């Protein structure tokens, strides 16, 4: 190979490497923009929540007052909790402490981070398991229904999901509790906690997870089915079908990749429902999660605890939405 | 130009099928609203032993204080359905008006988009708890206010996206060029073309309201204990589910049936083109 040819090859490789670098930089930049947008929205939500709690009457100092406590004592505790300072001083303080993991002090003087340290992972475990089960089941059911549009499976899945998605989680819980626990005795009705504060056995997760997933599977199966139907009308899928590929191959290799953005967005919106539903289901099954902390905090009007829970769940939902954004960006590429 | 002209005509469903799908929901709603008239006993006097099994005195047995479950069932649905209906009407009306304005004023449109993006970060239960606790003694009114506030951002987005093609159509441009005022454009030119969207939205908001309000009842945020409410009955009687299962099963079935039948009705009202390929 001559010298000139090597030089030529190198000259050609340099712009290619540069453009690859530029492309990856642009991808990182896009991710950064999406990340910043999601973080900003979370900050706005927290500001709204903080303002709402401030604007409405009553506060933590009067809600946690003991019987027969004088007005002076309540005022003293209000000063101790820092509630006498104006809200525009307290909110920035609270916000700037957030990235360091400091969620503030509860009305009873405990650190909110310590209060949430044990229950939050438990709720997260419940929510994440439910999310995984939901996604797997919804994908399986949606694909099964989409294999033969208008067939028996399609009609059964369509009807069942219409019923399942409307049921509130606590109604599903009652049904499961009666059938799986009280009448057959297969599963424990109440969650017992191990010394470290987590559920003592995995069998105690089964019913809460099932109660959370049933409505969400209904919702997501419908979204998967709808997204696959939209894709089935796309020209490249029609071409693959006309080429005589098997329905399964057309579905999995040609229709499903294009359906990912819609499926990811649907699953991401389920995150909020799963976390919210977890609070309800936890109360029923006595599961040691955020639900227990929240019901105590609601009774005490404990703003920092509730704001802390909102911050934690909001962060988790933002993260899942971010993943959905990235899936969408990856599938659609540079298209708007 | 009307909404029928925007959507292909074949996407319209036969009227009879819509009626059949809506009937169970309507029937159940009527039954719950007139239920108190048929209740054999009062809701707050004990007639049996606590958690007594079904017998001659009480067809569905007694609850945790020995009150007649059947009478409490007949009383317990009207307020739940009534408040869900009010919330659904309020959210739909607010969203319809706001959505039509949002599509004409870009600033409001962006605000609507962003507020829906922010609202999705707050699980409905948490929002409910926040408002109910910020308004002590608000009871059912606080729950209804919370459900309305939480429901509007998303609903406005639905209306705005349906209104966008209408706002871009020729007759609205002509009216704008003719110097019509903003409220006239929004309420007289655009809104009348969104009937099917608004009807479908009402169905979906009713489903969501039943869900949120029954959940608040279950968490004891709305109606307080002596009151008869299906969701509250489930919470109160859960400890005695083994002694008298009917005290828990009956209200669960009632809420389940209500949610499912309302959802089937809402499905039938949704324009078919959006759901089927």
Which 3 state secondary structure label does DSSP give B270?
coil
- Across the A:B interface, residue pairs with CB atoms under 8 Å apart total 134
Any CB–CB contact under 8 A between A177 and chain B? yes
Runs of H (alpha helix) within A111-165: 112-117, 119-147, 152-164
Name the percent of chain A lying above pLDDT 70.
82
Cross-chain residue pair B134–A53, CB shorter than 8 Å: yes
Chain B residues with beta carbon closer than 8 angstroms to that of A229: 276-277
A168 and B211: CB-CB below 8 Å?
Answer: yes
Q: Which chain A positions have a beta carbon within 8 Å of B118's beta carbon?
A: 41, 44-45, 48
pLDDT bucket at A336, cuts 50 / 70 / 90: very low
pLDDT beyond 70 at A197 = no
State yes or no: pLDDT of B11 exceeds 50.
no
Residue B87 pLDDT level (bands cut at 50, 70, 90):
very high
Q: Which residue has the higher pLDDT, B153 or B68?
A: B153
Is residue B244 less than 8 Å (CB to CB) from chain A? no
Residues in chain B with CB shorter than 8 Å from the CB of A41 are: 114, 117-118, 121
- DSSP code for B53: P
Contact between residue B148 and residue B90 where contact means Cβ atoms under 8 Å apart: yes
- Rounded to two decimals, the pTM is 0.80
Say whether B121 and A272 touch across the interface (CB within 8 A): yes
Tell me which chain B residues have a C-beta less than 8 angstroms from the C-beta of A174: 234, 238, 241, 248-249, 252
pLDDT at A58: 58
* Count of CB atoms situated within 10 Å of the CB of B22: 19
A178 touches chain B (CB under 8 A): yes
Query: Which of these, B83, B52, B125, B27, lies nearest to B229 by C-alpha position?
Result: B83
pLDDT of B89 reads: 92
Taking an 8 Å cut-off on Cβ atoms, the answer to whether B259 and A167 are in contact is yes
pLDDT of residue B275: 42
- Please report where in the chains the tokens 């105690």 appear, as a residue: A204
Q: What is the average pLDDT score of chain B?
A: 78
Closest by CA to B200, choosing from B159, B146, B256, is B159
pLDDT in tens, A5-54: 555 555 555 666 777 788 788 778 877 888 888 888 888 888 887 777 76
Is the pLDDT at A77 greater than 80, yes or no?
no
**pLDDT tens, position by position, B220-276:** 787 777 777 888 888 888 777 777 778 788 888 888 888 888 888 887 777 654 443
Ordered structural domains, chain A, with CATH: 115-333 (1.10.3720.10)
- The answer to whether A199 contacts chain B (CB < 8 Å) is no
Q: Residue A298: is its pLDDT beyond 50?
A: yes
pLDDT tens-digit map of A156-195: 888 888 888 888 888 888 888 888 877 787 777 776 666 6
A318-330 pLDDT, tens digit per residue, is 888 888 888 888 7
Which pLDDT belongs to residue B165? 81
Which whole number is the average pLDDT over A204-232? 88
Residue A140 and residue A256: Cα distance in Å, rounded? 12
CA contacts within 13 A on the Cβ side of A97: 15
Q: Is the pLDDT of residue A134 over 80?
A: yes
Mean pLDDT on A106-125: 83
What pLDDT is recorded for position B277? 33
Output the DSSP codes for B177-217: HTT--HHHIIIIIIGGGGHHHHHHHHHHHHHHHHHHHHHHH
The answer to whether the CB atoms of A306 and B123 lie below 8 A apart is no
CA distance B225 to chain A (A): 15
* Cα of A271 vs its chain's centroid, Å: 3
| Contact residues on chain A for B260, CB-CB shorter than 8 A | 162-163, 166-167
pLDDT of B98 higher than 70: yes
Contact B92, B147 (CB under 8 A): no
Asked if B118 and A276 come within 8 Å (Cβ–Cβ), the reply is no
pLDDT tens per residue across span A243-294: 888 888 888 888 888 888 888 888 888 888 898 888 888 888 888 888 888 8
Query: pLDDT digits over A233-243, tens only?
Result: 888 888 888 88
ipTM of the complex: 0.77
Find the residue in B nearest to A277 (Cα). B125
- Residue A216: pLDDT above 80? yes
């Amino acid at each position: 190979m001559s010298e000139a040819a090597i030089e030529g090859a190198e000259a050609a490789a340099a712009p290619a490497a540069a453009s690859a670098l530029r492309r990856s930089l642009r991808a990182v930049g896009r991710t950064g923009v999406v990340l910043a947008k999601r973080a900003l929205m979370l900050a706005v939500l927290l500001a709204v929540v903080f303002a709402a709690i401030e604007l409405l009457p009553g506060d933590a100092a009067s809600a946690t007052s003991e019987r027969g406590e004088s007005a002076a004592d309540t005022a003293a505790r209000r000063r101790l909790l820092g509630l006498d300072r104006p809200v525009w001083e307290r909110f920035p303080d609270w916000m700037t402490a957030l990235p360091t993991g400091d969620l503030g002090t509860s009305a009873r003087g405990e650190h909110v981070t310590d209060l949430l340290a044990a229950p939050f992972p438990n709720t997260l475990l419940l929510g994440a398991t439910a999310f995984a089960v939901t996604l797997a089941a919804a994908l399986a059911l949606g694909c099964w229904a989409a294999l033969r549009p208008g067939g028996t499976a399609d009609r059964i899945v369509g009807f069942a999901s219409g019923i399942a998605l409307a049921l509130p989680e606590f109604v599903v819980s009652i049904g499961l509790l009666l059938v799986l626990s009280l009448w057959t005795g297969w599963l424990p009705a109440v969650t017992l906690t191990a010394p470290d504060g987590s559920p003592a056995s995995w069998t105690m997760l089964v019913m809460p997870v099932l109660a959370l997933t049933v409505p969400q599977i209904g919702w997501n199966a419908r979204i998967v089915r709808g997204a696959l139907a939209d894709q089935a009308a796309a020209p490249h899928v029609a071409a693959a079908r006309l080429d005589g590929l098997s329905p399964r191959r057309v579905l999995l290799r040609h229709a499903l990749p294009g359906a990912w953005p819609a499926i990811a967005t649907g699953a991401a919106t389920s995150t909020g429902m799963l976390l919210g539903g977890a609070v309800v289901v936890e109360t029923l099954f006595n599961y040691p999660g955020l639900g227990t902390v929240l019901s105590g905090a609601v009774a005490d009007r404990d703003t920092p605890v509730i704001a802390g829970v909102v911050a934690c769940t909001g962060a988790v939902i933002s993260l899942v939405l971010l993943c959905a954004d990235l899936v969408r960006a990856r599938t659609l590429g540079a298209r708007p | 130009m009307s909404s029928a002209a925007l959507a292909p005509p074949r996407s319209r469903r036969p009227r009879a099928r819509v009626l059949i799908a809506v009937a169970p929901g309507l029937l159940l709603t009527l039954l719950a609203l007139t239920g108190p008239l048929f209740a054999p006993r009062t809701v707050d006097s004990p007639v049996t032993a606590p958690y007594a099994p079904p017998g001659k005195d009480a067809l569905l047995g007694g609850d945790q204080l020995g009150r007649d479950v059947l009478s409490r069932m007949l009383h317990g649905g009207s307020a739940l359905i009534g408040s869900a209906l009010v919330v659904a009407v309020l959210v739909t009306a607010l969203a319809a008006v706001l959505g039509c304005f949002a599509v004409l004023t870009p600033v409001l449109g962006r605000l609507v988009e962003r507020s829906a993006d922010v609202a999705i970060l707050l699980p409905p239960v948490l929002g409910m708890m926040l408002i109910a606790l910020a308004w002590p003694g608000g009871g059912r009114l606080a729950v209804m206010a919370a459900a309305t506030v939480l429901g509007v951002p998303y609903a406005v987005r639905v209306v705005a996206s349906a209104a966008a093609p209408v706002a871009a159509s020729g007759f609205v441009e002509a009216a704008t060029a003719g110097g019509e005022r903003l409220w006239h454009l929004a309420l007289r030119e655009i809104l009348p073309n969104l009937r099917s969207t608004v009807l479908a939205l009402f169905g979906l908001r009713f489903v969501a309201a039943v869900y949120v309000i029954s959940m608040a009842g279950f968490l004891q945020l709305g109606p307080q204990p002596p009151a008869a409410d299906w969701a509250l009955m489930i919470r109160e009687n859960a400890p005695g589910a083994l002694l008298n299962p009917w005290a828990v099963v009956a209200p669960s079935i009632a809420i389940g049936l209500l949610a499912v039948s309302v959802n089937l009705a809402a499905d039938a009202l949704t324009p078919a083109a959006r759901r089927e390929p």
